[in-house]
Structure formats: structure tokens, C-alpha cells
Amino acid sequence: MPELKEQVQEVLDKLRPFLLRDGGDCELVDVEDGVVKLRLLGACGTCPSSTITLKAGIERALFEEVPGVVEVEQVF
């Protein structure tokens, strides 16, 4: 689903300035069957709050803005 992947990327691009402000970033690895696979980079990769950022921030935004997203998974 290329359009789903594009929609996910658009949302991530909107969130990116907030991650960059804290010295982090994220990279979209893939979208498979509604599961978004993200790699957290920079400070986000080692931050103890990264799981909260991923689930409460990124996942919530994707659920709200991209129909078809069912889960967000962190890959390393």
C-alpha cells in the first residue's frame, strides 16, 4: 500500500521538528498490514522515555490521522 506509507510519512514529517528539538529523529522502515515499523534515531534511540514517545506520541498521531494503521512497532 504505497499510499498508506506516504500518509504515514507525512505525519512523521509533521512530528519530526519535535523529535529534532530533543536531539532525536525517527525513520520509517516499513508498513506491513497496517503495522508501522519505525527506527528511533539519535537521542530517541537511547532515551528512557522513547517508548512513551513512540506509543503516546507517534502512535496516537498515526491512529488519529491515518486510517488503516493498527500498530506502531519499534525496530532496531
Cell of 19: 523529535
| β strands within the chain, DSSP E | 24-32, 35-42, 71-74
pLDDT above 70 as % of the chain: 97
Does the structure show a pLDDT above 80 at 2?
no
pLDDT tens-digit readout, 16-49: 999 999 899 999 999 999 999 999 999 888 888 8
CA distance 36 to 69: 7
Compute φ and ψ for 23, nearest 5 degrees: 85, 15
For the chain, domains (ranges, CATH) are: 2-74 (3.30.300.130)
